[in-house]
Chains A and B, each alone.
Chain A
Amino acid sequence: MTLKVQDLDIIYPVDGGDLVACQNISLSVQPGEFVTVIGPSGCGKSTLLHAMGGMLRPTRGTVEADGTVITGPDPRKAAFVFQDYSLLPWKTVIQNVEIGLIFAGSTKKDARRIAVEKLERVGLAGYRDMYPRQLSGGMQQRVAVARALALEPEYLLMDEPFGALDEQTRRALGVDLGERLSKSGRGVVLITHSLEEAVYWADRVIVLSSRPGRIVKEIQVHGDRPRPLEFMTTEGFTEVRAELFSLIESGSSQEIA
């Protein structure tokens, strides 16, 4: 399945006029491709991701999955991992992994079987009967990832999944998860604020301008995934990182001026 965004505009009606969050965005994500989206805060990244997942209707333009226009969320095509603390605090870890499947219409029995398996996959089998607040932030995000993976989606849509974590945790989690996702062959769209993350994980980095969010640049990152941590010391990595840095810097200085 190819996920395709075409001439997308998203305008929020707000008091005192329209707020243009995304402008003229076109992009496509191939099966198994890992795309990261980076851009200044408030530029419309989440808005774009939500539109790609059918969570909100574009003002103009379309989002298509293999040529069919997406009109609503379909977690088996594209499953969300939300920013943070999106686990249901009143459900245990295992119930949280199940709930995506149950929402999507699976039977309780199937949901349990798959949830157990996915929880094992993210290394949290021993925590199945705990409540989210008894887990660290990083563990909670792994549960949220397991919840999404449980649907065996063709794409994973991740909105700054590790935004709230410290540098070290997110790197460890990132390496681990990046490897898993690369091996699973799923397509991923990941929003991040971290330049390292954006480059290290991605086949392609999409840079958005400050609001209204437009695509400033798409940069291909070479090198097979999963990548070793040393990838961050290669020239390929540092070059792309430097380019991103200057793009984002010039973007945000414009914003201030």
Chain B
Amino acid sequence: MSGRERHEAPGMDARPHDAPTGRDRTSPLGGRGPAGSAREGRPQRLFRRSNVSSAWITFGLLGAVLGAWETSVAVGALDGRFLPPPSRVASGIIALSGESAVRTALAQTAYALAVSFAIGTAVGLLIGMLLGMNRLLRDAFLPLVIQLLGIPKSVFLPLFILAFGLGHGPGIAFGVLLSSIQVIINVVGAIDSIDTVHYQVARAYGASRFSTFRNVILPGAAPGIFAGMWHGIRNAFVGVVVAQLFVSSIGVGYLVRSYTATFRIADALALIFFVAFVVILVGNAWGVLERRISRWREPLGG
């Protein structure tokens, strides 16, 4: 009856690698290190202690790559026409920030991202909760979602153009598809990761279904849900940009496409790096938030 031993992972064994769930308990950004079960605090501490020196290594490597790139172009080992050096990319970023086309494209992409993340997360949370809490629905639908995770969804893009045209439609819709799948998988995993003994406690003390949801399921799954939402953002972004890159005539994706088509490679790179930088920033901010709501999982004194 102790439950711990009999707590199985129903139907989730076939989970592909790129779908971390609450059970894995790793931050999407790797920020918390290879955190194991709630009772293994040590790996996290070790990770934390080495944080400062590991940051040096990271930045050192980045600097080395950029430096090598710059010199390769300078000495002619790389063709500056196809791969402009970092210095030109950097000045490109500054120059581009003045262009209204760029501002419009960024705003369009941000808008599409916000909408598709909002819808994708809402849909993902709802379906994920339903599948996570209802055995029948889970058995019926989870295998489908997992299969969907495994196939490259960009093959559906042409269908999205047919259905949604060339404006915001396909980007938003594709982002919704990608992000909701990630959120569903993560929410189900997060709910699964709750130990059965906690449900037993709720039942033994006469908890209503709502109270169980509020005090056990929601807080227990919150860290995993939060991690899942990050995957949601990331995938919404991928969906939006990929759709813009290939089919739409708006947004950053489209701009990158038209820059490369007209050989403005430095500008294309500038745009790409700028967007990557923003994504990394948002990711870090999200990581901070996530750590805050999973404080109860931190090791001693955390």
Contacts and interface: CB of A to CB of B under 8 A. Distances in A.
Interface of A: 46-47, 49-50, 53, 55, 73-75, 79-80, 82-83, 85-86, 88-91, 99-100, 102-105, 131-134, 151, 159
Interface of B: 1-2, 4, 38-39, 41, 195, 197-198, 200-208, 211, 215-216, 219-220, 222, 295-297, 299-301
Q: Is the interface of A mostly helix, strand, loop or mixed?
A: loop
Contacts of A105: 206
5 contacts: A73-B205, A75-B205, A82-B200, A90-B297, A133-B38
Nearest to B195: A85
B215 A53 contact: no
Nearest to B206: A104
Contacts, number: 88
Contacts of B202: 103
Contact of B300 (A74, A79, A104, A134): A134
Contacts of B215: 88, 91, 99, 102-103
B200 A133 contact: no
Nearest to B215: A99
Contacts of B301: 134
Contact of A103 (B41, B206, B220): B206
A91 B206 contact: no
Nearest to A21: B1
B206 A53 contact: no
B118 to A, nearest CB: 26
B204 A46 contact: no
A90 B206 contact: no
A53 B2 contact: no
Nearest to B202: A103
A82 B198 CA distance: 10
A44 to B, nearest CB: 9
A133 B38 CA distance: 8
A103 B205 contact: yes
B91 to A, nearest CB: 49
Nearest to A150: B205
A41 to B, nearest CB: 11
